[in-house]
Structure 1
Amino acid sequence: MSHRDNFLYLTIALTLLLFGTALCHQFFSSNMQHVMQASTMFTLLISVWGIDSQSQFFKYKLLFPFVIIAFSWFTVFIDNTMGDNVTLILMLVFFLFTAFKTAKQVLFSGVIDSNKILGAICLYFMMGIIWAILYCLLQINLTPAFNNVPETTNWYVLFPEFIYFSFVTLTTLGFGDISPSIPLSRVFVYFEAVVGQLYLTILVASLVGARLNIMHQNHSSNQTHKRNESE
């Protein structure tokens, strides 16, 4: 794995997280979320290895998935809001740091290539996941912060619901089946909608445009070189 293809693995890991969450929520009990998230956390860890394995902080970051998994399983056996909060905060820190390292590589290093465009997509996925975690924290601590979600403080029950709601909001689909019910949750919701639109219209469009421009320049250079050789 290198900086030329690391975002391919991260894309696969994030897709597994999102799709696996839906499958477990559809066909299994809520406790199966822990199995899926544990395996996906290891996949994410392997994937982000290519992003910041040279960082001095990386060896400490190795502990994050293990601690998250430990707290995640701990909350199965006790009905403790504090345990749910700690698990969600650790997940939030993990994804925020990964998103930061991803943005740093996508925006501030080297030329634009297909791997960096994949990185921009990964960053978009992580934005949705980060907001879903924030919504879980709001619902657990300020119940009812949202309408039409399960009446529980178990984060692993709420997480699939808010994954769905977060991406519906991020893409401004706005089906309306889940809605914020307090001022603080409404602020988070409309900020996510605004950030999602700005991200798509500015960052991703700029990256794709820059990549196409580079390809056009390379093609023009090859054509000029061929003409010079023929002359």
Structure 2
Amino acid sequence: MNEVNEVPVPDGFFRTHRWSILLGVLAALILMDGFDDRVEIADQVALWGLSFLFLGVVGATERNTALRLVMAVPVIAWFILISMSEFLDVKVDGSLSGLAAILLFGSMIISFRQLFTPVHSEYERLSSGIFGYLLMAMLWGLIYWRIEIMNPGSFNLPEDVGSQRAPFVYFSMITMTTVGYGEITPAASLPRILTGMQAIVGTMFVAIFIGRIVGRLK
């Protein structure tokens, strides 16, 4: 029987259930994306929700580590850009997208580390793995969305898909799970290569994740 490494339960509700809380926030943000074409303030709510998600990841990172400092710097830059956009009406869409990709990647790495480090609860390890998996889908979806904006026609899209981000997050999810319904398909070389890589990475992650969790619970 494998011994499960545990660490003392930290004080405070957030420290105890940090990854479960972050997973809930992320799931709500993904659902919110589906209403960006129907609810006028959905985009703003999602943007600020993403801001607090990044802040929560910094709080969930182990204290007194370089990783926490490295993650905190782009989070501060993110809040500065958000403030410039909201209060000074400065156009920072491109910079925000690039910084969001960096923060999503960093958050994903931090969540994946929980699969290999001691935790106080195996449920938190499970939550962090699912959280990272959904972040991976969001990151790839953001990349697909920016590719289509910069090079229109990179994807074969339904007629009702305009410049919304949600369809590309959806496409990312079904690509990563290798479902592939076919209503959105890559039409250029770069997105084709990226979708192939995502399918491979998504499949490998599921295999590693399930093996790791089952192995820890034996």
Q: Identify whether the pair has TM-score above 0.5, normalized to the shorter chain.
A: yes
1:210 aligns with 2:218: no
1:19 aligns with 2:31: yes
TM-score relative to the length of structure 1: 0.75
* Paired amino acid for 2:214: G
* Paired amino acid for 1:57: V
1:18-167 map, 5 Å: 18-25=30-37, 27-29=38-40, 32-54=42-64, 55-70=68-83, 73=86, 83-107=92-116, 109-110=117-118, 113-148=122-157, 157-167=163-173
Aligned residues: CA RMSD: 2.6
* Paired amino acid for 1:110: P
* Paired amino acid for 1:21: D
* Paired amino acid for 1:105: Q
Which is bigger in relative contact order (C-alpha 8 A, separation at least 6)? 2
**In 2, Cα distance between the equivalents of 1:73 and 1:168?**
33
Deviations 1:10-31 (A, max 9, x none): 1012111101111333x324x6
With over 3 angstroms needed to count, the CA separation of the structure-2 counterparts of 1:95 and 1:57, relative to structure 1, is same
**In 2, Cα distance between the equivalents of 1:40 and 1:134?**
16
Larger deviation: 158-167 or 65-74?
65-74
* Paired amino acid for 2:27: T
1:57 counterpart SS class: helix
**In 1, Cα distance between the equivalents of 2:141 and 2:84?**
18
Structure in which a larger fraction of residues adopt helix = 1
* Paired amino acid for 1:18: I
* Paired amino acid for 2:154: A
Residue 141 of structure 1 and its aligned partner are, at CA, apart by 1.8
**In 2, Cα distance between the equivalents of 1:128 and 1:59?**
22
Partner of 1:224: none
Unaligned runs of 5+ in 1: 214-231
Deviations 1:136-166 (A, max 9, x none): 22112222211116676xxxx4311111111
Whether the 8 Å contact between 2:36 and 2:42 is mirrored in structure 1 is: yes
TM-score relative to the length of structure 2: 0.79
Deviations 1:92-137 (A, max 9, x none): 0111111111122322x12671211111111100110010111122
Unaligned runs of 5+ in 2: 1-13
